[in-house]
Amino acid sequence: MKYWRERHSAESVELDHPPTPAEPITITRDQLRAFAPEFEPVHEELFGTPEDHNLHAAILSKQPYVPNQPGIYVGKMRRAG
């Protein structure tokens, strides 16, 4: 188990969401690629952001992702090498 923790990272972040006072940054799919080449994706899924902004429910119900709209990235990355 320790080896898995040292070599893998699980991520769940909002994508392309406009900044707010509580979340003052916007993360894009391109910015997630900045983890390369140190990390490589093992599993990635994209989900849509529902109007009620219930992100956990969106993931559980597999809310469809709409390109060029705010969404949710869920993935696992592995340290390269």
Place of tokens 């509580």: 22
Structure confidence at residue 22 (pLDDT): 86
What count of Cα atoms within 13 Å lies in the side-chain half-sphere of residue 38? 5
Structure confidence at residue 5 (pLDDT): 58
Structure confidence at residue 36 (pLDDT): 86
Number of domains present in the structure of the chain: 1
Structure confidence at residue 81 (pLDDT): 74
- E-strand ranges in the chain read 8-15, 39-48, 71-79
How many other CB atoms are there within 10 angstroms of residue 20's CB atom? 9
Residues of the chain scoring pLDDT < 50: 1-2
In which domain, by residue range, is 70 found?
2-79
Structure confidence at residue 20 (pLDDT): 86
